[in-house]
Structures are given as C-alpha cells and as structure tokens.
Amino acid sequence: MQGFLQSVGYESWVLPALLIIPLIGATVLLLLGQTGGSTAGSDSANGQARAIAFGVLLVEFLVSAGLWWSFNPANPGWHAAIDSAWIPNWGIRFTLGIDGIALMMILLTTLIMPLTVLGSWTSIKTKVHTYFALMMILTSGMLGVFMARDLFLFYVMWEVMLVPMYFIIGIWGGERRLYASIKFFVYTMLPSLLMLVAILYLGVHGGSGGVPNFSYDNLVSHPTLAPRAALWLFGAFFAAFAVKVPMFPFHTWLPDAHVEAPTAGSVILAGIMLKMGTFGFLRFALPLFPGAAMNPTVRAGIITLAVIGIIYGALVAMVQPDFKKLVAYSSVSHLGFVMLGIFALTLQSVQGALMIMINHGISTGALFLLIGMIYERKHSRLIDSYGGIARVVPVFAALLTLVSLSSIGLPGTNGFIGEFLVLIGAFKPYPVFATIAATGVIFAAAYLLWAIQRILFNPLDKKDNEHIPDLNWREIGLMVPFIIVIIWLGVYPAPVLRRMEPSAQRLVTTVAEGVQRVSQPAEPVVATATASATR
Amino acid sequence: MMLLQIATGTHPLAGTIAELVWMLPLLPFLGFLVNGGISLMSAAHVGPADPDMSLGAHGDADSSAHAISEAEEHGAVGDDHHAIQPHRYAGIVSIVGPLVLAASFILAFLIFSQMRAVSMEAPFIQRYFSWMPVGSLQIDAAIQLDQLSMLMVLVITGVGTLIHIFSVGYMREDPGYPRYFAYLNLFVFFMLVLVLGANYPVLFVGWEGVGLCSYLLIGFWFSEKANADAGKKAFIVNRIGDFGFLIAMFMLFANIGVLDFAGVKAAAPGLAFGGAVVTAICLFMFLGCAGKSAQIPLYIWLPDAMAGPTPVSALIHAATMVTAGVYLVARSSFLFSIAPVASLVVAVIGGITALFAATIGLKQWDIKKVLAYSTVSQLGYMFVGVGVGAYSAGVFHLVTHAFFKALLFLGSGSVIYAMHAAYHHTGSHADAQDMRNMGGLKKYMPVTWGLMWAATLAIAGIPPFSGFFSKDSILGATFERAGHSTLADSSLLGISGSGWLYLVYVFGLAAAFLTAVYMTRMMLYTFHGPSRTGSAEESHLTEAPWVMTGPLVVLGILSVIGGWLNLPERIAIGRVGILDHWLDPVVGDATRRVATLTAGEAADAGSTEMILIFVAVAIAVAGIAFAFARLKPQGLVPAADSPEEEGFERVLAHKYYVDEVYDTAIVTPTYQISKHVLWRGIDAGLIDGLLVNGSSALMRSFGWMGSRLQSGAVGTYAWVLVAGVLAVLGAVTLR
C-alpha cells in the first residue's frame, strides 16, 4: 500500500485535493440546483443530488484513507506538507500539513460525512441541492482547520466552517431554529473575533522587516512574547476554543443548536465541530502560549471548569425530557474529560483526550443518527413519548443499546479506552480532580441507561408505538461502520494510539520546555542573587 | 484480531494443551454470536425505505410493520412461563447454548489435568496483543493461568454447563429463547475473561462485562417496568463500585507504574507495610468488590436482581458473578496482606453483612428473595475469610456455595416452574414465588424436596455436607487470627484488631444460627405442611422434566461431597487440605504474612479448634431445631389473605427500609437539584437568561441576522461561500 501511494506522489497532493473535492461537489450541486429549472425540487432531481453528495464524500473518504498507510509515526515532522505563498504582502502563506492528531481528526471527518448524507437521505425534503452543497463546503472548512499550518489560513477555515452550519440549522432545523442558529452564530462568532485580533497581533509581532509572519512553526519555535501579553493572547484563543468545546459555562448554545439542527447538523456538530475547540487547544493555545496555559492559576481554573463540566453535564443530561438535549448535555460531560486530559498534560491523559475526541465523534454521532431515525418515524424526540419499543423495533433497540454502552464507556468498546487513559493520566498530577471526574462514569450510566429504559423497555403502553417500522437496510448499513469502529477501537486501539503517540509526546514536551523557558528568563535574577551573596 | 504470540519460554505448561487457554472464553463467545444472530434475525423486520409514516399511506405502514410476532405479543408480559409454543429456532439454540459451555468445560478439565501433572509455581501467562500502549503505561491483552484462575474456570464452566442445561427446560417456551442464551453465553465469556485476565484492566473488562450481562438478564422481561428498573439499578450500583476499582487502578499506576498481576506482585513489597497508599488502594478496590459482590452499603441491587429468570439468579447472582469480589481480593492477596487495616475493614464489613442480610432473610415471603438475602449473607462469610487472610478458606466457601446455592436456586426454579404451570392451567394470577401460596410440595416434587434439603443442610453447616467444612474453616481462621495476626495487632476506629475479629467471629456464629433458621423456614413453608396452592391447582403440580432435574442431582452430589475438597486436619476422613495445597502458590505467601502464629501456638490451638467446630455445629443444629419448634406452616394462609406484619417484623419484611432511605437521601435530591437548580436555575436561568439573552446588544444583533436569514436567498449565500473559498484556494493555484 505504501509503495503504491508513493508511486502516485500521494503525499504531495492529498491535502489540497481533500479541500477541493468537496468544493467541486458543491459547485456541481449548486449548478444542478439552478439549471434544473422546473425539475429542481422533484424527487428524481433530489435523488440525484443525494447520490452526488454521497458519491463525492465517498471519494473524499477513499482519498483520505490513504493517509492511514502513508503516515509514518516515526517521522516527527509535518506529513503531506504543502507550502506556497498566498498573500505575500501580509506574510500570509498557504501552508498545510498534518501530524498524528490531525490525521485521526481528518479520518474521523471523512468517515462521518458520507454517513451523515446517508442519514439525511429521506429527512431533507426542501432545497436539497443547497443543503448538500452546504455540507460539502462545511467538509472543506473543517478539514482546512485540521490541516492549516498558517494562523491566518486557520482563521479563514475556522470561519468557513461556521457559516454553512449556521444555515443548516437556520433553514432545515426544527421549530425554534432561528433562535438556535443565531445563538450558535453569535456565541461562536464573538470570541472568534477576539481570536482574530490575537492572531493579527501574533502575526505582526512575529514578523520581521515590516512583513507579518503567520507561520505556525515560526511562532511556536520563536516565542518572544512578554508573559503578560501571552496571557491576554491565550485568553482570546481560550474564549474562541472554550465556546466551541463547549466548556462549562460557555455551553448553552449547544443544547439549542443540537435540538434544532437537522440530524446531519447534530451529527456534524457533535461528531466533528466540537473537536475544533479541543483541537485548537492542542494545536494552538498550548504550544503557542505554554507559559500562560500552564500558569498554575489558569491551569487549575480550566481543570476545575472541566471537572465541573463532567459532573454538571451528566447531571443536567439526566433530567432532560428531550433525548437530543440529553445527548447534547452528555457532550458537555464528555468534552470535560477531554479538557481534563489536555490540561493534565501527561502522555496518557493527552492520548486519552485524543481517543475521547475520536470516540465521542463516533458514539455521539451514532446516537444522533439513531435519534434521527426514530424521529423520522414518530416525529417526537421526547423520551416519554416512547416506552417498550424494543419489542417493535428490535434492530433499532440492539443498535441503540450498543451505542449507548459505548458512550458510557463500557470496557471492550471505544468509550472506555479514552476515559480510562484520561483518568489514569490525570490521576498522578491531579488525584483529587481525577477522582471527582471518575464519578462521571456513574452518572453517565445513570442518565443513558435510564433514558434507554424509558425508550426501549418498560411496558409498550402507547398505542401508536405498536406499529413503528424497524430500521431499513440503508439505515442498518450506515450504522455498520460505526459499530465496527466502536468495537475495533475498544478491543484493538493500539494502531491508532501508535499513530498519535509521537504528536502527543511532542505536545507534552514542547509545552514543558516552553514553561521552563518562560519561567527562567531567570538568568539576571540569579546573577543579582549571587551578586548580593558575594557582597 | 491479531495474535502476536510471544514465546512463553520454559514454563512447564508451554507447548501443552494449556496453549489453547484462549479457547476457553472464545467458545462461549461464539455461542453468543450464533444465538445473538439467530435472535436478531428472527426478531427483525426490516422497515420500508422511507421511514416517514406521516407522508406514506397508513395502510402501507401497517403491512410492513408486523414487528411483534404473535409469540412476542403473548409471551413478553414479563412473567415466568406463559406457555406458548417454543421459539422456531429453539432446536439449534438448545444445542449451541449448552454445547459451547460443555466444550469449554471439557477443555478446562484437560488443561486442569495437565496442570496437575506438572508442578508449577509461576503462573502461565499468554500475551496476545498490545491493548493500550501509551508511553510507560503498557497494557496487554493477556491471559494468566494459575491455580486460582483454573479453579474459577472449572467452577464457572462446570456449574455454568449445568445451569445452561437446566435453562433448556426452564426457558423452553419463552419467546425470547435465543436472546436468553445469547446473553447467558456472553456472560460466561466475560466471566472467563474476568478470571483469566493477566492484569487489572483486562480483569475489569470482564468485571464490567458480567455487569452488562447481569443488567441485560435481570431486565430480560423488560416489558415490566419493575424488571427494567431492577436491571438498571444493578448496573448503576455496580458502577459505584467500579468507580472504586478504577481509582484503585489509578493509584497502582501512579505508585507502582504497572497494572499486571505479576508486576504488581513483584512491586508490592516496595510499598510501605500498612501504609496509607496500599491501604487506600485496597479500600478502593474493596469498594468495587462491595458493588459486585453485594456487600454493605452496596448490596441493595442483588435482591432486586431476582427479577431475572431463575437460572440467571443461580448462575450470575449466586454461583459466579457475585463472587468476583471475593476472587479479586484473593487475586490481590499480595496487596491486602500488607494492608492489615484494609483487610480488617473487609472482614468487618463481611461479618456485618453476613448477619444483617440473614436477619432480613428471616421475614421474606418470596422464595427467591430468601435465597437472595442468603446469598448476600454467604458472600459476607467469604469476605470474612479473605479479609482475615484465610484466602483459600474464602475461596473454598466460594466453591461450595456455588454448588449448594446454585442447587437451591435451580430447585426454587423447579418449584416456581411447577407453581406457574399449575396456575397457568387454572388461569390464576396468584404469585407463584410467594411461599404463602406453596406448602406441601414434598408430595408432588419428592426429588426436588430431597435435593433442596441436602443443600439446606449444607448451607446451614451440618456435617458432613460441604458448607460445614467451608464455613468452619472461615470461622476457625477468624478465631485464630483474632488471637495472633497482623490484623489483630492493628486497630480500626480506636478498637484493636483483635477485638474486631472476635466481634466478627460472634457475628459469624449469629449469622450461622439465623441461616439455619431461615433456610429451615423456607423448606418448611415450601415443602411441608398443608398445601396452600389451591385445590384446583394441586392436581397440576408435578416434578420438572429431567432436563431440569438432572442438573439438580449433579449439584446435589457436589453439595454433599464438596467438603472433601479441603478437609481440616482435625477431621482427617480423607486427604487433608487439598485446596489449601492447590492454591498455595497463589495465596500461600500472603496467608503466611497475615497469620503470625508460631508452631507451638498452632499445636495448642488444636483443642480450641475442636471446641469451635463443636460450637458451630451445635449452633446450626439449634437453628434448625428452633425453626422446627417455632414455625408452624399449618398456621399460614395464602398471600392474598395474609395480614401485614407488625413491629420489628415489619421492619425486617421491608428490609430495614434501606431502599427508601437511599431514595430519599440520595436519588431524589440528586434528581431534583439537577432539574431545578442546575438545569432550570443555572443553565436556563443564570447563563442563558441573564448573560446571553439578557444582553440587549445581542438581542439586537439577533434581530438583524434573523431578518437576513429570512430573506430566503440561501442559494445566493451558498454561492458566495463557494466562490469565496474557491477564490481563496484559487489564489494559490493561479499564482
């Protein structure tokens, strides 16, 4: 496989190709949607749009899959790197590249996207072409975030990603979609603007000869920031990322956005976009500002918020009457584990955080898809409108049970690996926080098992639930990849862990070195100390 | 799955049949796949392409959605046995289900024979692949075969096979028949992973896996809310324990850096003897044991777990899963033996639980509830054993308990089966598990009656039945350790360890008395005296078919002769201390570390031991006699006509109101606070209401953006977006 990939020069074109393929798909879809004229909106035209979208994203996945083999963990630098000038006057370059972390995020994205198209097969009935075109643009934006090695390019991609999601929620969403979409947009836009200011400051500050420099590598390896400035800049990045994660107490956009978004929107939001925040911390906030991020007060504050998020998210999830909202709050809890893992900053905890990022994408994505499937049948997300339907829809019941078990971290499924690694890694530096966080496993079992009991089990006491049709082959088929990944990552996660380990290790050492550098501009101090001693 | 077998070197078992140890769990797993596949296939009705019924014609939905077969419609009402015809794939399931277990047992026996032939001190460890390799944390998917795990495997697959066979008869007419066997096979798979895992995380996979199967099987008849509730309760309470287990693992890694048994055993002496670290590790681990093995304060799930089918109660909630905590303490004897205070806690909690549960058992009317509290109580004994450092005595009681308690549960299953069939004939809805509706069954079920008496004498501790020997070795060890041991030298809550252990001994004796009483009560009310079943039903009461009674006979024999596994020196009516000797390579060092008796003192202890044995037997006999003298089955009336209990009896019948206390003190407040304070207060009120929506600037921007969105020209926006992004990318390519 590696030989073949090398022979086609895979690494030299794969990243730009991954950005362009969905955009080509979007263009085709939009053209068809407009030139179709009278036939636009007809069943056959819609079917064509779906098929194109699925086909394009399938190609996207296949193209990206080569990265799994071409990626050599032993090579410490950027993989599949691209670097060309873009806006030279402002020192902005078009540089792409991935490490082990980005690799897994990209594969997660390209795996989930075609499956969300399958999941929206029959539920999207209006403006089908535009809908799928927006999903294509979204794909490019998200992949761009994971690939960008230039801070300005990163910011552009960050915003490209925001807009399609705003439309997806606002147009194809539920009853309160307007409120939810605007809340989502404003909530995430305002701190992003802060981050833009910080990026501009960094670029100008890091530049030379009047030309700014937005290169990530340059900014990480040549930090010249005063500690106070670093703290402010970290604050700006923190705001943007913490909202995206979302960390308690910046999470209230998420339940609304999830509930109102169409199924695919929820899947993408939870499965991929929430990882943008934690990815941002890993890629930018920590390596760029190690001193600020590891400032004992800042670090303890963030870990406290993370642990509050774990418990709070789980407890609030428990009392939700709406299944989608329940899963939304459970995301707050899961992402709390990720934040704990990142800021505990041991190799195990960071690896665990990365695993949860993947697992949460898989498990929560699958949960939202399943909720979407049952919603299409009954048009209700209220847990209490179901009950006892395991007898009516046994396949749905089996899948929902399995996915729920993976979400609550049953050993043997993917969910366990991440939580275990985060907690075991965080326990050494932060035993008390890790212990409190570990109680999250109890609450997780409580809210999800209680929910699936009220949906699947108990007496089948509502007449109109007796004839809900079970999943069809399309739906069963689209769940199969999720199930495979759930079991695979639970039983044999070693290949994934090995691919991410050098990147995680580098993060831990980079930040540790950075902290030392910041805390020891100490030479003059030492000099005065010895001077005074000799005096 | 990749099998990167690492050479096992020069171990005496290398190259023998023991290399096939991975097949032990794999066989039941294959059974799970087959039965699970059959279950899902036969239940599934794949839905229509467009699931949206509101748009499709309604008739179409009806014709395509015959999701509930006739059988399910009638059968899944959450009751044992509403006779309908067997599942259409019952034949193959009845073969696959028990067969994989039997094959596993035969293989286990062959490996066991091989182990007896060679002398092995070190465990036989097989590494298959790297599970979680993260820097200094290296966790392998590995199996460890030693004397302790071998013994557990034999018990699990042996008793498991018998219970699977019994299930063929018991569950034959249930519409969920393949699903039942799928879960049961899966359970055995996880249980074998639990006892064969070579490190704590792999053990934990089995640990939570058996919890999952327990959850699925307790809620097997999930259409009844009480059953689904019971399953969920079991899982969540177990999770509380699992939290403790997790913390114990984290502490091990933080302090030792390894999690495999061999590594921890090698590093354990480096921990300070009786230090805070090892004590905390052991206490957190014991929290896990208290959850899984139903000890105070986490025992509350086990009585509710009786909602599952009765063979499940026998296999999971008596013979195997609930003893996993005892296994874990024995497995971790290298830790507990250097943590005397933690061991003392184990013994004290075990003693209190043994007595406490026995008192509740006195006033239960549901035959399975009696046995459930009895199980909690007997598990308490086992923890007394492993707590005082008599690890092989605790494991010995685990084994004999597996025999006689499985027999008691299966026997009660036969009784319930007969009662159910009788009530079904007459269409009565009386409770088939309430002893007040039974009585006089001896006449109709003589074989079950005889076998259950054998088990009752065993659990009561009457010689020479198996329970006598195992219970006596625990009580004897407790008394001896109260005099001389590292535990006796330590102290807990200001009271000397010696004092605690004498108290535990007294508790053990008291519990033994109560055990004899409540078990005799159960036998009297069920089998003796006049029948209260109802005259119309009486003619339909019969012995269960041989597929069910056969396994009872085997268990009956084991319950009688099981004591010969480990005869004490004072009663040398055969080879002495076989089990002690067998387990010596695993727990011997730890046992000797705890017991500080010198040789001279041990010789003196001989006469004391005979007195202790005499006292224990006298107490058991007294209990049985007391029950015969005081309890008059003639005075009982059927459940429907019975008055409420009064006074302390009422407190016992309501299990000291512990469930109610937990509910009021923990469950309800958590729910209400989460709902009203966290969600409505903080989330919706403070953050959203005040900070987000309250900001007028935000509101204005909401309005502005909303008006844009509603103009409906989304297509235009999408175009702008694509064009923009393409321009960005194009700028690069066109340069």
**What angle, 0 to 180 degrees and rounded to 10, lies between the N-to-C axes of helices A177-206 and B696-710?**
110
- At B573 the pLDDT is 81
Lowest mean pLDDT among B61-70, B467-476, B579-588: B61-70
Residues recorded for chain B: 735
- At B599 the pLDDT is 60
- At B605 the pLDDT is 66
Q: Nearest residue of A to residue B58 by CA position? A: A467
Residues of chain A in contact with residue B725, where contact means CB-CB under 8 angstroms, are 23, 137, 140-141, 160
- At B58 the pLDDT is 42
Q: d(Cα A311, Cα A330) in Å, to the nearest integer?
A: 10
Q: d(Cα B294, Cα A340) in Å, to the nearest integer?
A: 32
Q: d(Cα B354, Cα B514) in Å, to the nearest integer?
A: 10
Residues recorded for chain A: 535
Q: d(Cα A181, Cα A165) in Å, to the nearest integer?
A: 8
User: Is the distance from CB of A165 to CB of A212 less than 8 angstroms?
Assistant: no
User: Is the distance from CB of A47 to CB of A41 less than 8 angstroms?
Assistant: no
Is pLDDT above 90 for B106? yes
DSSP reduced 3-state for B143: strand
Confirm or reject contact between A473 and chain B (CB < 8 A): yes
Q: Maximum Cα–Cα distance for chain A, whole Å?
A: 93
How near does any CA of chain B get to the CA of A18, in Å? 12
H helix intervals, A71-206: 100-119, 128-147, 151-172, 177-206
Q: What does the pLDDT average to over A419-435?
A: 94
Q: d(Cα A348, Cα B137) in Å, to the nearest integer?
A: 7
Q: d(Cα B432, Cα B418) in Å, to the nearest integer?
A: 9
Q: d(Cα A154, Cα A167) in Å, to the nearest integer?
A: 21
Lowest mean pLDDT among A177-181, A360-364, B303-307, B468-472: A177-181
How near does any CA of chain A get to the CA of B181, in Å? 16
Confirm or reject contact between A40 and chain B (CB < 8 A): no
Residue in A183, A457, A470 nearest the CB of B222: A457
User: Is the distance from CB of B312 to CB of B182 less than 8 angstroms?
Assistant: no
Q: d(Cα B249, Cα B131) in Å, to the nearest integer?
A: 16
Short-list A248, A18, A241, A240, CA closest to A136? A18
Residue in B46, B222, B228 nearest the CB of A471: B46
List the beta bridge partners of residue A110. Answer: none
- Which residue bears the tokens 């693992």? B249
- At B698 the pLDDT is 57
Q: What does the pLDDT average to over B241-250?
A: 94
Confirm or reject contact between B133 and chain A (CB < 8 A): yes
Distance of CA B353 to the CA centre of its chain: 16
Single-letter amino acid, residue B207: W
Short-list B420, B641, B442, CA closest to B537? B420
- At B732 the pLDDT is 53
Q: d(Cα B285, Cα B241) in Å, to the nearest integer?
A: 8
Is pLDDT above 70 for B693? no
- Which residue bears the tokens 């947009």? A185
User: Is the distance from CB of A81 to CB of A148 less than 8 angstroms?
Assistant: no
Q: What does the pLDDT average to over B560-564?
A: 89
- State pLDDT tens for residues B535-555: 777 777 888 888 888 999 999
Confirm or reject contact between A465 and chain B (CB < 8 A): no
Short-list B417, B419, B420, CA closest to B409? B417
B175 prior amide bond cis, ω within 30: no
Confirm or reject contact between A140 and chain B (CB < 8 A): yes
Report strand pairing: A92-98 vs B124-134: unpaired
Phi, then psi, of B119 in degrees rounded to 5:
-105, 120
Q: d(Cα A297, Cα A304) in Å, to the nearest integer?
A: 10
Confirm or reject contact between A207 and chain B (CB < 8 A): no
CB–CB of B714 and A351 under 8 A?
A: no
How many beta-carbon pairs under 8 angstroms link A with B?
286
Confirm or reject contact between A459 and chain B (CB < 8 A): yes
Element (H or E) spanning B121, and its range? Answer: none
Q: d(Cα B235, Cα B241) in Å, to the nearest integer?
A: 10
Return the percent helix, strand and coil in chain A, to nearest 5: 80, 5, 20
- State pLDDT tens for residues B55-72: 444 444 444 344 444 444
Is pLDDT above 60 for A523? no
Q: If pLDDT is split at 50, 70 and 90, which confidence band does B608 have?
A: confident
A249 prior amide bond cis, ω within 30: yes
The residues, any chain, with a CB within 8 Å of residue B57's CB and separated by 6 or more, are none
Is pLDDT above 50 for B74? no
Confirm or reject contact between A469 and chain B (CB < 8 A): yes
Name residues 195-254 of chain B within 8 A of A (Cβ): 201, 204-205, 207-209, 212, 215, 219, 222-225, 228-229, 231-232, 235-236, 239-240, 242-243, 246-247, 249-251, 253-254
Confirm or reject contact between A194 and chain B (CB < 8 A): no
Q: d(Cα B650, Cα B653) in Å, to the nearest integer?
A: 5
Q: d(Cα A330, Cα B140) in Å, to the nearest integer?
A: 30
Neighbours of A292 (CB within 10 A): 26
- At A396 the pLDDT is 93
- At B675 the pLDDT is 85
Residue in B209, B698, B732 nearest the CB of A411: B209
List the beta bridge partners of residue B140. Answer: B130
Q: Which residues of A76-105 are buried (b: 16+ CB within 10 A; e: fewer)?
A: eebbbebeeebeeebbbbbbbbbbbbbbbb
DSSP reduced 3-state for A430: coil
Q: d(Cα B533, Cα B367) in Å, to the nearest integer?
A: 14
pTM value is 0.90
Q: d(Cα B57, Cα A269) in Å, to the nearest integer?
A: 34
Q: What does the pLDDT average to over A172-177?
A: 84
Residue in A26, A425, A449 nearest the CB of B722: A26
How near does any CA of chain A get to the CA of B131, in Å? 6
- State pLDDT tens for residues B400-439: 999 999 999 999 999 998 888 888 888 888 888 888 888 8
Is pLDDT above 90 for A40? no
ipTM (interface predicted TM): 0.90
Q: Nearest residue of B to residue A179 by CA position? A: B702
Name residues 265-304 of chain A within 8 A of B (Cβ): none
Alpha carbon separation from A531 to A57, A470, A527, A528 (Å, rounded): 67, 82, 6, 5
CB–CB of B709 and A170 under 8 A?
A: yes
Is pLDDT above 90 for A344? yes
| Residue-wise DSSP of B527-559 | HSSS--S-HHHHTT--PPPHHHHHHHHHHHHHH
Residue in B62, B212, B702 nearest the CB of A182: B702
How near does any CA of chain B get to the CA of A435, in Å? 7
Short-list A96, A22, A12, A106, CA closest to A68? A106
Short-list A421, A463, A456, CA closest to A438? A421
Q: d(Cα B707, Cα A382) in Å, to the nearest integer?
A: 30
Residues of chain B in contact with residue A474, where contact means CB-CB under 8 angstroms, are 49
DSSP reduced 3-state for A84: strand
**B-interface mutation test, from A50, A125, A182, A480, most B Cβ less than 10 A away:** A182
List the beta bridge partners of residue B199. Answer: B260
Burial (CB < 10 A; 0-12, 13-18, 19+), residue B660, is exposed
- At A529 the pLDDT is 41
- State pLDDT tens for residues A226-275: 888 888 999 999 999 999 988 988 888 888 888 888 999 999 999 999 99
User: Is the distance from CB of B314 to CB of B402 less than 8 angstroms?
Assistant: no
DSSP reduced 3-state for A97: strand
Q: If pLDDT is split at 50, 70 and 90, which confidence band does A413 have?
A: very high
Is pLDDT above 70 for B708? no
- At B681 the pLDDT is 80
CB–CB of A398 and B40 under 8 A?
A: yes
Q: d(Cα B321, Cα B213) in Å, to the nearest integer?
A: 10
- At B713 the pLDDT is 59
Lowest mean pLDDT among A248-257, B219-228, B347-356, B713-722: B713-722
Phi, then psi, of B171 in degrees rounded to 5:
-100, 5
CB–CB of B135 and A501 under 8 A?
A: yes
Q: Which H, E and C letters describe A2-59, residue by residue?
A: HHHHHHCCHHHHHHHHHHHHHHHHHHHHHHHHHHCHHHCCCHHHHHHHHHHHHHHHHH
Distance of CA B702 to the CA centre of its chain: 56
Short-list A51, A107, A37, CA closest to A79? A107
Sign of CA dihedral A143, A146, A149, A155: positive
